[in-house]
């Protein structure tokens, strides 16, 4: 610490100088913050202001600086000093813009500003400049699991960008589902007619590319390591195992069509004239090979009427079938109806749907089919009954509100949905796994402490951060692409695979530089554990949302920094507080909490600590400031990387120091989570559920700690939450613990 030289810079611009006493803040930085150097500037982000700081770094050897100006989210280019530790006190957004500009408010406004300076000075002294992650992997090959449209596209795109690819396909040939289709839904103007699949061309492209190595008839026996240094064992047909070293993985393991034999209500299996969409593709290919029209399977009779049953075993509310919409099947039925209409306009084709959903440019395709005479009937199919040679389709007409039937149907096509090939559900307890009818086969066989496959979110689809980062899974460096991620058609799968290839490239490049890929892209900090203090409690290894931490034989945590997202959930979990980041630790936050000047109980000035997620709640507070929405002057806001990183010691320390309340603001959790780190806010809410006992021990009301779900768009709501909470604190009274801390 001998080399630490601290400095504080107080900006007077943007009205700060007029609203608060900058000289007083400077004095606090010097006397209480013990800053070696304190300077004030009328316009700190100007060229001269920035130059002043640069000069100090160079000539005065400043290593740690406080900038008391605007929010840490503003002026990031101007205040970019990567060589020093930096703390920003948000005097503009956090104080003068969020407080009323009135003489009465002047005193409390000044107190806020003073505290923020104290907090920043305390924080910066506990910070270090991150040195970068030692877990550097330099392998830049990309493994693609699955040789369907998604996998092949990802392989070709990565290869085109100059990366070597290893592609593993379990079947004997490339192509996946798409190779079984006769045509695909059109994907370019004018979206009128079914198009060639182009799958042979794509497969040939894969096979002829020198950068792509293909393993057919192969599966993944084991995957270990981390981004930049994955080791993968490929089990080949001969039984031999091929070892491959790769830097990132794209899982494009696709889907299985929902088992139509379960659709007894639509007579599947009772007549060969009832097929699923795959069955119709087969008929179409066979017919095309013979140069004949599609014939009735039962007796080769002429097909005059075809009915398509949409949502067969999908969007099911009874719990027997798939609850979701697979999204591709309406367009597929339109395409298949055109197989008949284009060949012979006299064939009657009826699509019976409840809601026709045609994503992408499917609307044009839908129109084209209508113009060609495909009839669309809004209805719910009640039954499909085989008669002599044909079928009777009974349905409820949802527009005319009557039960009706189509007779003499030669062929019924059931539009069944996609079931993802996502391997083992690692969140299912072993005893539940045992009960499953069909034992899922692992796709990746990950040698991770938390399980063999990608975590799933819902309905078996690999979890992807659906709202913000769709390609991300919860395993860093492993990207899900195509229908394993969510149901989709070929056009979407191609786009998806291209995106996943780019993410994989981003992962290998960042792994080489020892920094985070996502979402704290470029972050050089990483969790450091003091193993000598560790009690092997396993909370970090269990709770890490990204499975980044394994365990050694003695159950000590083994950090794989390249798999880490730097959320700090492990730091929040650790009961003995041995996990920290160089620039973000139990101390950097704890010292801020303690630096706040807590007035005594007679002042009638409560202090409320707000721990705000830096991804959503903190920006929302900033934007509230920009809109000049005012909130209570008694809050002291500290941004945190994620609520998951909040260690309960901060809460107990705050309450012990006489704070009257603590607000935790994180993202929405649960099924439609918005947490950047998936589980962070959920874990925080769970941990805070346990804090009630602590409060009771301290003889405090449970309201003194409150957790909120806040979205970045809650700009008006956040000040309201604060004000309501401040009113609540006023109601229950100031903390009895003041003056004892």
Partner 1 sequence: MSEALNEQALARYRNDFLKEVEERVEEGEWVKMCMQCGVCAGSCPFGPHWQHSPQKIFMMIRAGKREEVLTSDSMWMCTSCYNCVVRCPRQLPITQIIHGLATYAHRLGLAPRDQPTRHFSRLFWKNCTRAGRVNELKLTLGLYFKDGLVSGIKKAWALRNIGLGMLLAKRLNPFELIRGHECSDKAGIQKMLKKAHELENRRRGFQE
Binding site for partner 1 (CB under 8 A): 356, 366-367, 370-371, 373, 375-378, 397, 399-400, 404
The residue among 632, 689, 618 whose CA lies nearest residue 74 is 618
Q: How many CA atoms lie within 13 A of 719 on its CB side?
A: 21
Q: How far apart are CA 670 and CA 665, in angstroms?
A: 15
Output the smallest distance, CB 371 to partner 1, in A: 7
Least Å distance, CB 330 to partner 1, is 12
Residue found under tokens 């160079």 = 58
Q: Is 400 left (phi over 0), alpha (psi -120 to 50) or beta?
A: alpha
Q: Indicate the Cα dihedral angle 9, 12, 18, 21, nearest 10°.
A: 10
Give the shortest CB-267-to-partner 1 separation in angstroms. Answer: 23
Residue 652 CB, shortest distance to partner 1, in Å, is 58
Cβ neighbours, 10 Å, residue 460: 16
Contact 294, 287 (CB under 8 A): yes
DSSP 486-500: S---HHHHHHHHHHH
Residue 291 CB, nearest distance to partner 1 (Å)? 29
Query: What does the block give as tokens for 561?
Result: 């920094």
Other CB atoms within a 10 A radius of the CB of residue 741 amount to: 14
Minimal distance in Å, beta carbon 392 to partner 1? Answer: 16
Cβ proximity to partner 1: between 177 and 376 the closer is 376
Nearer to partner 1, 310 or 422 (CB): 310
Query: Helix (H, G, I), strand (E, B), or coil: what is residue 274?
Result: strand
Give the pair of three-digit tokens for residue 430: 């072993």
Is 708 strand, coil or helix?
A: strand
Q: How far apart are CA 143 and CA 166, in angstroms?
A: 5
Cβ-based nearer residue to partner 1, 317 or 371: 371
Looking at beta carbons only, is 289 or 371 nearer to partner 1?
A: 371
Residues 12 and 415: their CA atoms lie apart, in Å, by 67
Give CA–CA dist 710/717, Å, rounded.
8
The secondary element (H helix, E strand) that includes residue 573 is: helix 569-573
User: Residue 38 phi/psi, 5° resolution?
Assistant: -130, 125
Question: Nearer Cβ to partner 1, position 217 or 408?
Answer: 408
Instruction: Please report how close the Cβ of residue 50 comes to partner 1 at its closest, in angstroms.
Output: 54
Q: φ, ψ for residue 13 (rounded to 5)?
A: -80, 180
Least distance CB 389 / partner 1 (angstroms): 20
Q: CA dist 569 to 572, 580, 681, Å?
A: 5, 10, 9
Nearer to partner 1, 369 or 638 (CB): 369
Tell me if 337 sits within 8 A of 374, measured CB to CB: yes
Minimum Å distance from CB 355 to partner 1? 10
Question: Of 403 and 432, which CB lies nearer to partner 1 in the complex structure?
Answer: 403
Question: What is the DSSP code (8-state) at residue 154?
Answer: H
Task: Please enumerate in sequence order all residues whose Cβ is within 8 A of that of 434, keeping only pairs 6 or more positions apart, or say none.
Answer: none
Alpha helical stretches, state H, 643-706? 648-656, 680-689, 691-697
For the CB of residue 387, give the shortest distance to partner 1 in the complex, in Å: 19
Q: Is residue 568 within 8 Å of 548, Cβ to Cβ?
A: no
Cβ proximity to partner 1: between 40 and 349 the closer is 349
Other C-beta atoms closer than 10 Å to the C-beta of 343 total 16
CB 625 within 8 A of CB 92: yes
Closest contact distance (angstroms) between CB of 13 and partner 1 is 52
Q: How far is the CB of 398 from partner 1 (least distance, A)?
A: 9
Q: Which residues contact 629 (CB under 8 A, 6 or more apart)?
A: 98, 715, 716, 719
Considering the complex, what minimum distance in angstroms separates the CB of residue 370 from partner 1? 5
Phi, psi of 193 (to 5 degrees): -120, 150
Cβ 363 to partner 1, closest distance in Å?
A: 9
Per the document, the length of the chain is 741
- Rounded Cα–Cα distance for residues 649 and 41 (Å): 37
Dmax (CA) of the chain = 97
Question: Is the CB of 317 or the CB of 399 nearer to partner 1?
Answer: 399
Residue 66: strand pairing partners: 8, 87
Which of residues 192 and 282 has its CB atom nearest to partner 1 in the complex?
Answer: 192
For the bound state, the minimum distance from the C-beta of residue 399 to partner 1, rounded and expressed in Å, comes to: 4
Q: Which is nearer to partner 1, 349 or 506 (CB)?
A: 349
Q: Which H/E stretch holds residue 53?
A: helix 47-59
- Minimum gap (Å) between residue 375 Cβ and partner 1: 6
* Closer Cβ to partner 1, 355 or 692, answer by number: 355
Whether the bond into 395 is cis, omega within 30 of 0: no
Instruction: CB nearer to partner 1: give 52 or 325.
Output: 325
Nearer to partner 1, 2 or 371 (CB): 371
Residue 218: other Cβ atoms inside 10 A: 22
């Amino acid at each position: 610490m001998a080399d630490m030289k601290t400095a504080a810079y107080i900006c007077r611009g943007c009205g700060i100088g007029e609203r608060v006493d900058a000289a007083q803040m400077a004095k606090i930085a010097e006397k209480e913050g013990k800053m070696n150097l304190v300077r004030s500037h009328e316009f700190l982000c100007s060229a001269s202001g920035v130059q002043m700081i640069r000069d100090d770094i160079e000539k005065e050897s400043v290593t740690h600086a406080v900038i008391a100006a605007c929010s840490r989210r503003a002026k990031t280019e101007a205040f970019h000093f990567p060589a020093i530790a930096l703390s920003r006190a948000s005097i503009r957004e956090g104080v003068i813009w969020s407080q009323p500009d009135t003489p009465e408010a002047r005193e409390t406004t000044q107190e806020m500003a003073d505290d923020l300076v104290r907090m920043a000075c305390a924080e910066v002294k506990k910070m270090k400049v991150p040195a970068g992650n030692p877990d550097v992997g330099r392998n830049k090959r990309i493994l693609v699991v699955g040789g369907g449209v998604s996998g092949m596209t990802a392989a070709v795109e990565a290869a085109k960008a100059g990366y070597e690819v290893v592609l593993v396909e379990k079947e004997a040939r490339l192509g996946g589902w798409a190779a079984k289709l006769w045509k695909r839904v059109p994907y370019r103007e004018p979206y009128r007619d079914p198009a060639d699949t182009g799958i042979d061309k794509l497969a040939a492209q894969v096979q002829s590319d020198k950068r792509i190595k293909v393993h057919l008839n192969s599966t993944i026996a084991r995957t270990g390591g981390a981004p930049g240094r994955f080791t993968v064992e490929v089990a080949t047909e001969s039984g031999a195992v091929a070892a491959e070293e790769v830097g990132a993985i794209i899982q494009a393991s696709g889907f299985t069509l929902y088992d139509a034999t379960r659709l007894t209500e639509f007579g599947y299996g009772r007549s060969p004239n009832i097929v699923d969409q795959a069955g119709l593709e087969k008929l179409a290919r066979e017919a095309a090979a013979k140069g004949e029209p599609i014939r009735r399977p039962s007796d080769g009779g002429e097909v005059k009427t075809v009915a398509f049953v949409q949502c067969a075993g999908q969007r099911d509310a009874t719990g027997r079938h798939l609850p979701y919409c697979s999204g591709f099947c309406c367009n597929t039925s339109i395409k298949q109806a055109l197989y008949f209409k284009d060949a012979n306009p006299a064939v009657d084709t009826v699509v019976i749907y409840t809601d026709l959903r045609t994503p992408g440019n499917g609307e044009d395709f839908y129109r084209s089919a209508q113009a060609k005479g495909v009839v669309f009937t809004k209805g719910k199919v009640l039954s499909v009954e085989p008669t002599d040679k044909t079928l009777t389709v009974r349905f409820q007409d949802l527009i005319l509100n009557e039960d009706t039937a189509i007779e003499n149907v030669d062929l019924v096509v059931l539009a069944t949905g996609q079931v993802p090939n996502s391997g083992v559900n690692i969140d299912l307890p072993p005893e539940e796994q045992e009960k499953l009818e069909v034992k899922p086969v692992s796709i990746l066989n990950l040698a991770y402490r938390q399980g063999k496959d990608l975590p799933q979110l819902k309905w078996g689809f690999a979890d992807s951060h659906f709202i913000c980062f769709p390609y991300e899974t919860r395993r860093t460096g492993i990207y899900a692409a195509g229908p394993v991620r969510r149901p989709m058609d070929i056009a979407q799968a191609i786009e998806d695979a291209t995106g996943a290839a780019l993410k994989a490239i981003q992962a290998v490049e960042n792994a080489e530089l020892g920094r985070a890929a996502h979402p704290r892209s470029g972050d050089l900090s990483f969790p450091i554990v003091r193993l000598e203090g560790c009690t092997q409690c396993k909370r970090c290894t269990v709770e890490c949302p990204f499975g980044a931490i394994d365990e050694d034989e003695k159950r000590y945590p083994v950090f794989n920094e390249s798999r880490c997202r730097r959320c700090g959930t492990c730091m929040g979990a650790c009961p003995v507080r041995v996990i920290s980041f160089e620039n973000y630790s139990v101390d950097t936050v704890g010292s801020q909490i303690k630096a706040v000047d807590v007035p005594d109980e007679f002042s009638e000035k409560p202090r409320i600590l707000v721990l705000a997620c830096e991804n959503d709640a903190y920006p929302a507070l900033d934007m509230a400031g920009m809109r000049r929405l005012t909130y209570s002057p008694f809050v002291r806001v500290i941004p945190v990387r994620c609520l998951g990183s909040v260690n309960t010691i901060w809460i107990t320390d705050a309450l012990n120091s006489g704070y009257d309340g603590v607000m935790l603001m994180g993202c929405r959790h649960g099924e439609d989570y918005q947490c950047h780190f998936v589980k962070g806010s959920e874990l925080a809410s769970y941990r805070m559920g346990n804090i009630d006992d602590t409060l009771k021990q301290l003889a405090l009301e449970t309201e003194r700690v409150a957790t909120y779900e806040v979205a970045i768009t809650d700009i008006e709501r956040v000040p309201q939450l604060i004000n309501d909470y401040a009113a609540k604190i006023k109601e229950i009274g100031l903390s009895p613990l003041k003056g004892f801390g």
